[in-house]
Chains A and B, each alone.
Chain A
Amino acid sequence: MQIRALLGLALLLGAAVYSSSSACFQAVSDPPDPQVAADKEYYDRERFASVKPFLPRSGVIGYREDSPPRSDNWDGLPFAQYAVVPIVLSEDANGPWILVNGRPEARPVPVGGERPLTLLHDAGNGVYLFGPPAP
């Protein structure tokens, strides 16, 4: 019985040490693409920073995405939502505010339902905020 118990203990301890050390080795030797974390940090801290003061305090605004600069692992609308919360972004909303997340060289003009929209802010990095014209 004692031999069996020792065998069992050796099996369990050996498997646990192997599993944890191989997980550790894999974490060290095969790190995730650092660009993904860098992209997220950039999107969270910088990309929408200059447009935030122009956003309403709350409510739903439109969101359009037009090939923004990103890595292959870009998560699109959900991460933009994370960055600009408590504003709620909706691809279905047609105004009165629309946030465009695109390329710097393109300047899309979103259709804002029946009312024309004017450019309120150009962040210079492909982020534009359109809104109702001043009365």
Chain B
Amino acid sequence: MVAVLLALLPPLLVGSLAVWSCWPRVGPAAWRAVLAGALGIGLALGATSWTYFAWVVCAGPSRPGFLLVETLFFALLAAALVVAVRRFPAPDGGDLPRPPHTRWTWAIWAAFGLVLLAALATLGLALARTPHGEIDAWQIWNLHARLLTRGGDEWREPFARLSALYHPDYPLLVPAAVARGWTCAGEESTLVPRLVAFLFAAATVGLLVAGLTLLRTPAQGCLAGLVLLATPPYLRYTAAQYGDVPLGLYFLAGVLLFEVRDRLRSGSERLPVLAGVVAGMAAWTKNEGQLFVIATLLARLVVAWAGGRASRPAPRALVAFAAGLLPFAAALAYFKLGVAPTNDLVAGQEGGATLPRLLDGERLWEVVSGMVEALVTVVGGAVLVLALYAALLGRARGDGGRGLHTLTVLAILLAGYALVYLTTPLPLSLHIFLSADRLWLQLWPCALLLFFLNVAAPEERLAADPAGPRR
């Protein structure tokens, strides 16, 4: 396991440096470092997945020398980034309005500490008790990882021959990251997929806390992280080693980067490049990630339309986004067109069955009610508490339309999910029952970002509280 962690250091350094060089110089450097580290984990796991897949395609999984070549690749990339950071420092983000600290902040951090400890204990127990994860882990993600490591020169063949039960068309970010870990460890240890699952969840919490701290206030970031950690299904699906938690990280990173760009009115193209990389990683994680790429592009149009002429998306920004997207889009295209069979949901649209499904009112009702039911099951209590909290604290002061990009992305993703359910060739109620809760969890970190961008921060309301404890 030490070898796995050591082998993760070079890509982690590259990922963190990439974030550090792109993120505008706004807010305390310590929080920017936390954010760079958190998003750096996601970038590192995504990048190593890409390098491993490239090695499998170009050299074959059995060919020795992967780690040496990969380490050289990341060392060169790190050196280039260090030079770039020195010569071209991150753009100055200017100043964001910051409410004063409240003396109640200690209570929020104390609660965060309690929730973090409880979450670590819950997650640790679950990870220890289910070394192979839950059904999708060994039926899909870790099975595909084994196909990559055990397949030898014929690694493509099983993907073509496995039945739809094993979803051989699913993208390979998680399997390739796990397979790379096994290659580093020299064995198929169940510790590797568990470590990968834990890292994705930890990175999501870190990114949410640091991102909101930099965009809003420390208490706001802390509260968002606290709510995410206190969502038991989120911990359950982390321990289950499913692809939804990694996807949620890339969704969150993708919307956060554009929120920063919109709020700081930054003209730098570094953030769109990074957003493109993150969107590419989302597409390389799950099929829903491909919808996220489309949703991101459409959301840019909506933001531009809402902001008038001044917010028109610069062609350079779109080119930068596409440039970041390219490596993962290429890997995905190679896999989808050259290795994987047709997706079962797409294959099931033959014979003119799609239109009748779309126009079936009963199906629409079943989809809407099923998704609402799943929402209530997964985060119903949290939504109720957050609604009461928002009613008590009120809306944040300052500019309107905050989080429009995130809101649009979430709306498009939800509409897309509903459309997939409407047209599914699988038994509808079973399809919803088996997946709707996980779809909500993919969106949950983004929803928390949106909520805490818009609701008033405790610092805003409590700053002048005479009842607060004195220092």
Binding site for B on A (CB under 8 A): 1-2, 4-9, 11-13, 15-17, 19-21, 23-24, 27-28, 31-32, 34, 37, 40-41, 44, 57-60, 75, 78-79, 81-82, 85-88, 90
Contact = CB atoms under 8 A, between A and B. Distances in A.
Nearest to A77: B165
Interface stretch (B23-31, B66-74, B117-125, B400-408): B117-125
Nearest to A78: B139
7 contacts: A4-B393, A8-B392, A9-B462, A19-B382, A37-B131, A57-B152, A58-B154
B147 A13 contact: no
A100 B214 CA distance: 59
A44 B131 CA distance: 11
Interface residues of B, number: 60
Contacts of A57: 152, 154
A85 B146 contact: yes
B199 interface: no
Interface string B113-141: 01100110110011001111001001100
Given A23-B118, A59-B157, A86-B154, A11 B467 contact: no
B381 A15 contact: yes
B386 A12 contact: yes
Interface string B208-251: 00000000000000010011011110010000000000000000
Contacts of A16: 111, 115, 226-227, 229-230
Interface in B376-429: 381-382, 385-386, 388-389, 391-394
B59 interface: no
A37 B132 CA distance: 8
A94 B136 CA distance: 28
B138 A13 contact: no
Contact of B461 (A2, A13, A75, A78): A2
Contacts of A9: 104, 107-108, 389, 393, 458, 462
From A16, A31, A37, name the one whose CB has the most chain B CB atoms within 10 angstroms.
A16
A44 B137 CA distance: 14
B360 interface: no
Contacts of B462: 2, 5-6, 9
